[in-house]
Structure 1
Amino acid sequence: MLQFTFLGTSSGVPSLTRNVSGLAVRHSKTKDWILIDAGEGTQHRIQMTNLSLQNLKAICITHVHGDHCYGLLGLLASAGMNGRKEALTLIAPKEIQTWLQSSIELTALFLAYPIHFIDVSEIRDKIEINPELFISAHALHHRVASYAFAIEVIHQQKKLNVDALNALSIPKGKLWGDLQHGQDIEWNGEILQSQDFVEVTTQQVKAIVSGDNDQPELLHQACENADMLIHESTYTQETLEKVGKSPMHSSAKMVAAFAESVKLANLILTHFSPRYHDTKGITLLEQEAKKFYTGHLFMAEDLKTFELNASGQLKVV
């Protein structure tokens, strides 16, 4: 129901193997997708996927640090130059809107499509991206205001009770179609109500995508009914203790222990310091996390795609 393609998994600066933060979240039943963060070079990574800027419905920026937003302007410009006309929703801190407006004025940037800006700090309810796809925001703790985004798909299926229809000798065709679409019908002088002949089943999945954050426990409530969490794991615990509290990031241990405490089924770690970008470094982070988390653990890689199905199971595709 949801697909996650990592466009950048490095913290701070890019390396030869990992770009800075960017994550594409696609509603797998449609071509609609959401971009969460747009570090420098994000549009280049998008060109390596089958994602189209024409189908991009919303961009969510977790916070104003450059490794999460410096690629935004170029991406918006390219979407316009490629013929985009449809409005684009931008959910971000207010400072991003100010920066965007100034850049448009100072660089003579013309966008042939409207930007619908939503101040992330003012979000109180779910935002509907399409009839099945919703976004909500949760405040975090970092050097600047930072947010996590909850992405939910709620899919309803309607199935006719064929046995009941046949028992009344109602012929297939328009009458069946009307009932399935919620309309009552008249049959043999009697009004038949749609709800008596249609069974509705609901499939729902929820994923939490976190921005930079040194207090994973702030996501406790958001994760109560979530199927998965994507969270930064910039350092090992040992390195975090050496660099001190000032960077305000999480270690693999911190995130893993939190995920275990709320019984999350799936956890993806990302936003790795460049010091861990080789195989040895990623293994070190993974091993630390596994000491504290017994669920399904994954380590993000640039251009790797994961799929969360209707049963809440996560796999690499």
Structure 2
Amino acid sequence: MLRLTFLGTSSGVPSLTRNVSGLAVQTHLGRAWMLVDCGEGTQHQVQRAGLSLHDLQAVCISHVHGDHCFGLPGLLASAGMNARKEPLQLIAPEPVWRWLQTTLECTDTHLPYPLEWIDVADPTPWQWQPSITLSRHAQKHRVPSYAFRIDCTRAIRRLKTDALQALGLPPGPAWKALSHGQDVPFEGRLLHSADWVHEEVQHIAAVLGGDNAEPACLQAACEGAQLLVHEATYAQAVLDKVGPGPMHSSVQLVATFAQQQGVPNLILTHFSPRHHTADEQQVLRTEAQTHYQGQVFLAQDFDRFELAFDGALTRRH
């Protein structure tokens, strides 16, 4: 299972209802979480969302623009002031790493835990947890920008209960022992666990897009994915007026791409402040549903989504 908590869904600047970019990612493996982008004010959003900086294992920064990274020094400093000691991974562009080091030095900030930097441009997948891998995928923006794909697997052991009942072994301690890999004696023979347990490997993948003017850049990244999270800064009519300069996507562009790729779930985020009102959100929703037949959501700050291993996506306010 993947759980996504949106900490900021505005582009460029915060508004009264939305902070700038930040997304918390958790899994079925426990309290550990990862942060994707860290705009100004993210540490306040983390507190409001009930997340602990002690459980934070990695911060991923998609690109150098301030609405995606200006909150980083404060968040890291607060983690240190809260007595964090465990190492923290920072997957970020090299300029962000240089800026962060300079900022910490100039403000006499000393982190009491190791901060381990990985260049976001390094193509080597990062093993977040034993069954969870993070890969990076280049996008098209005014500066180098990357999307993050999270692949999550788990193995489910299921007893062959029909076969055991046919054999005459009743439910009870023997079933439990077999399911835990133990061999069990029964009527003069030894039942080997491997013969009575079926192992099923389940897999889900989510693509978390950063700022990106061409969703088609993520064609390879989206293969086999059950969820695409992507910026939708403008309605198409607004993008036509703004022009290509900002190098952002419209709802129509993202929805059309998701439909062509057959991605079953789509979450839109990173909305221009001009689209924050309820009426403007409805304009974006209608545009998305016109070009995409899957399940689509427009994220709000503090929305939580759960992607189950069967591919079902659920929204929890």
The Cα of 1:165 is off from its aligned counterpart by 11
Q: Which runs of structure 2 are paired with 1:15-26 in the superposition (5 Å)?
A: 15-26=15-26
AA aligned to 2:227 is M
8 Å Cα contact 1:260/1:292 also seen in 2? yes
Q: Which range moved further: 150-159 or 45-54?
A: 150-159
The 5-angstrom pairing of residues 186-265 of structure 1 reads 195-265=194-264
Normalised to the residue count of structure 2, the TM-score between the two structures is 0.91
2: CA distance, partners of 1:225 / 1:278? 34
**CA contact 1:87–1:114 (8 Å) conserved in 2:** yes
CA distance in 2, matches of 1:166, 1:87: 52
Structure 2, unaligned stretches of length 5 or more? none
SS in 2 for 1:105: helix
Say whether residues 1:32 and 2:32 are aligned partners.
yes
Decide whether aligned partners of structure 1 residues 174 and 41 sit closer, same or farther in structure 2, where only a CA change above 3 A counts.
same
* DSSP-derived class of the 1:150 partner: strand
Unmatched segments (≥5 aa) in structure 1? none
Partner of 1:87: 87
Please give the TM-score of this superposition, normalised by the length of structure 1: 0.91
8 Å Cα contact 2:174/2:184 also seen in 1: no
**Could you tell me which amino acid in structure 2 is paired with residue 283 of structure 1?**
Q
CA contact (8 A) 2:91 2:120 kept: yes
Equivalent-residue separation in structure 2 for 1:199 and 1:91 (angstroms): 38
Instruction: Measure, in 2, the Cα distance between the counterparts of 1:190 and 1:121.
Output: 57
C-alpha distance in 1 between matches for 2:213 and 2:311: 27
What's the offset of the Cα at 1:205?
1.3
Question: Using the alignment, how far apart are the partners of 1:283 and 1:220 within structure 2?
Answer: 27
State how far apart, in whole Å, the 1-side matches of 2:50 and 2:273 are.
27
2:77 aligned residue = 77
The aligned runs of 1:4-19 (5 Å cut-off) are: 4-19=4-19
Return 293-302 or 88-97, whichever deviates more: 88-97
Aligned to 2:144: 145
AA of the residue aligned to 1:48: R
SS at match of 2:156: strand
Residues 252-307 of structure 1, C-alpha deviations (whole Å, 9 max, x = no match)? 11000000101111111100001111111111111111111111110010111111
Residues 165, 197 of structure 1: 8 Å contact kept = no
Alpha-carbon distance in 2 for matches of 1:212, 1:50: 27
CA contact (8 A) 2:94 2:119 kept: yes
Q: Which amino acid aligns with 2:254?
A: V
Task: Tell me the distance in 2 between the aligned counterparts of 1:85 and 1:236.
Answer: 45
* CA pair 183-262 structure 1, distance change in 2 beyond 3 A: same
CA distance in 2, matches of 1:44, 1:183: 49
Q: Which residue of 2 aligns with 1:157?
A: 156
Matched letter for residue 65 of structure 1 = H
Paired letter, 1:142: H
Q: 1:112 to 1:283 in 2, by over 3 A?
A: same
Please say if residues 210 and 230 of structure 1, whose CA atoms lie closer than 8 Å, have aligned partners that are also in contact. yes
Tell me how far 1:316 sits from its aligned partner: 1.1
User: Percent identity between the aligned chains?
Assistant: 49
Q: Match of 1:294, SS?
A: coil
Residues 20-58 of structure 1: CA distance to partner in whole angstroms, max 9, x if unpaired? 000111114411211100000000011111211111111
SS where residue 239 of structure 1 aligns? helix
Aligned to 2:67: 67
Inter-partner Cα distance in structure 1 for 2:81 and 2:93: 26
Q: CA deviation at 1:242?
A: 1.2
Query: How far has the Cα of 1:96 moved from its partner?
Result: 1.5
Report the counterpart of residue 289 of structure 1 in structure 2. Answer: 288
Question: Are 1:151 and 1:208, in contact at CA under 8 Å, matched by a contact in 2?
Answer: yes
Post-superposition shift, 1:241? 1.4
Whole-Å separation in 1 of the counterparts to 2:292 and 2:176: 50
Deviation at 1:198, TM superposition (A): 3.0
Could you tell me which amino acid in structure 2 is paired with residue 274 of structure 1? Answer: P
Q: 1:242 to 1:116 in 2, by over 3 A?
A: same
Q: Name the Cα RMSD after superposition.
A: 2.5
Deviation at 1:133, TM superposition (A): 2.2
Give, in angstroms, the shift of residue 166 of structure 1.
10
Q: How many residues align?
A: 315
